[in-house]
Amino acid sequence: MTRLSWSVVPAPSPLGALTVGSSPTGLCLVTWGADPERVGVAAARLELEPVEGPSAAAEQVAEYLAGERRRFDVPLDWRLTHGTQRTVLQTLFRAVPFGSTTTYAELADASGAYEGHGYTAARGVGSIMGSNPIPVVVPCHRVMAAGGLGGFGGGLPTKEWLLAHEGVLAPTLF
């Protein structure tokens, strides 16, 4: 059976750690904290055997957290996403670089996935951000509400830390 390599990458507080999983195709999973159970679920969905071990993706995540990397160039395995979710996340990955942000509505427009849906488009993108299987690398922390930070699956302190890490927020503001 083909393997899903995974490892836990230590991270500063409030993140604590990230669990990173890679298939032979590419990075497919980043989870908050040490989460081998979620690795098992992803491996089962992808019909892979979870095996703990290093990967280029985990190394790049560690470099990003240490302030040594601004762009991820490992291949991504998008198979844990589908349809509109994949379209929106791929648009986010391509179009919103380190140190910049967008809004839910702007991302909905840029993706083209919600043509004619108006207000509900931003809500749809918000739901997609919450289901992102590759946060940090596919930077859902860079997507904001029209009037502020918006929500975040890793918690608002984590979103604030990531945005300060990228120079979007001043560290003294939170």
Beta bridge partners of 61: none
Neighbours of 121 (CB within 10 A): 20
Catalytic residue among 57, 76, 140, 144: 140
> In this structure, what token pair is assigned to residue 121?
């488009």
How buried is 7 (Cβ within 10 angstroms: 0-12 exposed, 13-18 middle, 19+ buried)?
buried
What is residue 129's DSSP assignment?
A: H
Per-residue pLDDT at 39 exceeds 80:
yes
Pairing of strands 27-32, 3-10: unpaired
Q: Are 44 and 58 in contact (CB under 8 A)?
A: no
Per-residue pLDDT at 85 exceeds 70:
yes
Q: Are 92 and 113 in contact (CB under 8 A)?
A: no
The per-residue pLDDT of the chain, averaged, comes to: 94
Give me the percent of the chain exceeding a pLDDT of 90: 87
Give me the percent of the chain exceeding a pLDDT of 70: 96
Per-residue pLDDT of 48-66, as tens digits, reads: 999 999 999 999 999 999 9
18's enclosing H/E stretch is strand 17-22
CA distance 174 to 119: 29
Q: pTM here?
A: 0.94
CA distance 94 to 122: 19
Nearest to 39 by CA among 67, 16, 63, 9: 9
Mean pLDDT for 68-89 is: 97
pLDDT for the residue numbered 174 = 47
Per-residue pLDDT of 141-154, as tens digits, reads: 999 998 889 889 89
pLDDT for the residue numbered 119 = 63
Mean pLDDT for 26-35 is: 97
Mean pLDDT for 21-50 is: 97
Q: CA dihedral defined by 148, 153, 159, 163, rounded to 10 degrees?
A: -90
Per-residue pLDDT at 173 exceeds 60:
no
What is residue 21's DSSP assignment?
A: E
Per-residue pLDDT at 172 exceeds 70:
no
The answer to whether 28 is a known catalytic residue is no
For residue 144, give Cα distances in angstroms to 8, 58, 91, 100, 105.
28, 26, 15, 11, 9
Mean pLDDT for 10-30 is: 96
pLDDT for the residue numbered 122 = 87
Per-residue pLDDT at 117 exceeds 80:
no
